[in-house]
Structure 1
């Protein structure tokens, strides 16, 4: 049986990744007014580091999907960047700015807000840095893809070494180091799509429990070592986690778990920005003073996940409704 990384499975992967991301932030003790003692323990710290594999999963999916892109153009770049910016700005101006004003943080006015609008600073949303990385990725992916056109794993190795070296060299700049570090994962995603190496492995290793062990080992490895200098261990851990998840959900499309993760995956971009409201500098103080904010990791995780999903689903439905009304109005004018 060959396991494919299909579109429906990438949606599930996004659903799992957003759960990992929320858990990652729930495990950071600085985000609590009175941090639970649990968060000062070694296992909690290592799990918090390991759950950041979520960013690697999203980045791998971008690289993997871009291999099949046949219509790259300036319009393609603009449409994709605008789609992400639009979703972030909706959350920023409808939710984050009003909440920050209520909490007394909205100080400094427009300059700080403009930086935050494009992810260059993160006081209003600690997850907004992916905006500038996504824009960078759309520009560098065609070059990476061209480099991967010819056979040979050495091209992937060269890409990882070059980008890892650049990330190390520019470690003092968070923007450049983030871009170069995750470029390694983009390259891995492209390579896996080109060679279908993960699917070929799944044909050779057919026992489910072997993949479960390999996936768990990959997560444990990521918990133990997030990277060395500018090199990220996501280049090894993410592909194993991705193919393990795809293997486990092969033929499970009608299960409740698959449907739940699919819904989370469809809402994952909005959830990325919405859940950060509970943890970002400008807004977290408002929630920490509320009765619902209990200094318990499991309770906070459940509350943040449910609220983020509910708001994200509502925003997506509102977008679809507006598009439908706009289309109907246009047809009536014709």
Structure 2
């Protein structure tokens, strides 16, 4: 099987896992979001350290840990991804999974804006049109619902800024995420101590300190480590074998599955405003994807032509 096919299948599988992960978080909606987040940090760290140990890559952590500048950026990334994870868990558990899927649909276009204004990347008129369409959809949704879709906007913005920071780091996804959850670990341990010994509850009426009370919940919480780490390993594998445009297109599988699960499995209601906003955003994403593929093909063609000229 060609390498690019293997990479595409790996990325597709990662997006399927992410897309269906809302089913997992719905299954543990009796566990408070902060408690779930704490367990996710704890068990994903254990799983990722195990992966790095098997690969013989644990020593790669030490140079980064000693680099204060890199650790500052990783700390910022850790804060952003923890907000993102918490909001996603909260959205699923509170019956707002449609809103979370909207956030991940908006994310690529939010990332485009960051690239333009922060990195100075130039956007053509069609990409600007895609961004404008998405912005119109969000503004229309805000007007119709008389409130901005804040979960969607925070999910998309934190993930986009997180991606921007990761782009500046000279570290692979598994190594960097291991360090991110390592930074989160003390906060998670403190919260779990409070939940189990002091009955801490951040929001809602969930029972605190669930872990250890029955084997089903305990295993599900441990599984959060696998659910976090496996898609990252697949992403790492895929990113070395397929183009960025292909990766970008396949990421739309994730919010599409989230949307379908929210509507058809969780039974969340789609308002008329959502029925208008979502198709507009899908059109914007389609336009953006077509332009990205066209630009990548042109770039590859130019490189081939340059290589041909240099050898003659």
TM-score scaled by structure 1? 0.32
TM-score scaled by structure 2? 0.34
RCO comparison, higher one (Cα < 8 Å, 6+): 2
Structure number having the greater helix percentage: 2
